[in-house]
């Protein structure tokens, strides 16, 4: 993450803009999600995270790298970090029923981003030996993310596919619609526009199921949402990449 933010050559203003767009996308998606869940008669606490929290890491980052190169991955990182900083405490609070900001202190990405911001703000060059080491380690990131995603999905059952399919449809459709709308409203173009739309349209995050299982908030249905949205993305993502390119 540090290497992507400091070494990709992405415009600093673009990083901030994309991070702000991520927060806006999450807020609008959550608001619409609450309305849909109440109209559907389903528990907001259990199912809202599946609608607003997407898989921006394990799936989103490899796709932004594939579609837009290192600049796209840096902007994808900015989107993911902003989403995690806002979304993970919200996920923990909704799942446990207790307000929690402690989740932020346990996120390694927060410290990596803070360090990267210091280097960017002070215009410090990363020492050559450190840059080479980080480049080597960063090369493992995308393959490991894909392996982790596959391992996590393999452990899930398909017993909650009924409501899970509906949640998956809400996640993918609302994510795309809101991401496209925010990108248009903010006047984004090129790589920034593509990254915001792609990251907004990712399937349900695997971590949603982990919290649902831990706190007993409809874990089978949430697992179904993760599986259904991930399988559906095999069809939707090629279309999305064509759309943003």
- pLDDT per residue, tens digit, the chain (245 aa), is 565 565 555 677 888 899 999 999 999 999 999 999 999 999 999 999 999 999 998 889 889 999 999 889 889 988 988 888 888 888 878 877 776 566 556 666 667 667 766 766 667 776 776 666 666 666 665 566 556 656 666 665 555 578 889 999 999 999 999 999 999 999 999 999 999 999 999 999 888 887 887 788 888 888 888 889 999 999 999 999 999 99
CA 78 to chain centre: 10
CA dist list (Å): 105 to 84, 93, 152: 12, 15, 24
Contact 81, 88 (CB under 8 A): no
Question: Quick one: pLDDT at residue 240?
Answer: 95
> How would you classify residue 84: left for phi > 0, otherwise alpha for psi between -120 and 50, otherwise beta?
alpha
Domain 2-244 has CATH 3.40.640.10: no
- 229 token code pair: 């949205």
Question: Quick one: pLDDT at residue 141?
Answer: 59
**How far is 212 from 43, CA to CA, in rounded Å?**
12
**How far is 133 from 148, CA to CA, in rounded Å?**
23
Question: Quick one: pLDDT at residue 55?
Answer: 92
Question: Quick one: pLDDT at residue 153?
Answer: 62
């Amino acid at each position: 993450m540090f290497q992507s933010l400091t070494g990709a050559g992405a415009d600093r203003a673009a990083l901030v803009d994309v991070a702000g767009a991520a927060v806006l996308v999450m807020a609008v998606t959550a608001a619409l999600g609450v309305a849909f869940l109440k109209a559907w008669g389903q528990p907001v606490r259990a199912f809202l995270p599946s609608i607003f929290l997407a898989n921006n890491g394990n799936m989103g980052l490899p796709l932004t790298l594939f579609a837009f190169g290192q600049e796209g991955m840096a902007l994808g990182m900015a989107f993911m970090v902003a989403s995690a900083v806002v979304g993970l405490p919200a996920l923990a609070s909704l799942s446990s029923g207790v307000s929690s900001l402690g989740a932020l202190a346990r996120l390694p990405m927060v410290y990596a981003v803070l360090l990267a911001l210091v280097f960017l703000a002070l215009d410090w060059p990363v020492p050559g030996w450190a840059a080479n080491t980080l480049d080597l380690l960063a090369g493992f990131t995308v393959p490991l993310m894909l392996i982790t995603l596959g391992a996590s999905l393999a452990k899930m059952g398909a017993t909650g596919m009924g409501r899970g399919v509906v949640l998956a449809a809400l996640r993918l459709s609302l994510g795309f619609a809101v991401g496209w709308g925010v990108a248009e409203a903010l006047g984004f173009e090129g790589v920034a526009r593509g990254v915001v739309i792609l990251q907004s349209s990712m399937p349900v995050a695997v971590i949603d199921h982990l919290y649902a299982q831990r706190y007993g908030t409809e874990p089978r249905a949430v697992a179904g949402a993760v599986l259904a949205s991930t399988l559906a993305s095999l069809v939707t993502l090629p279309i999305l990449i064509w759309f943003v390119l």
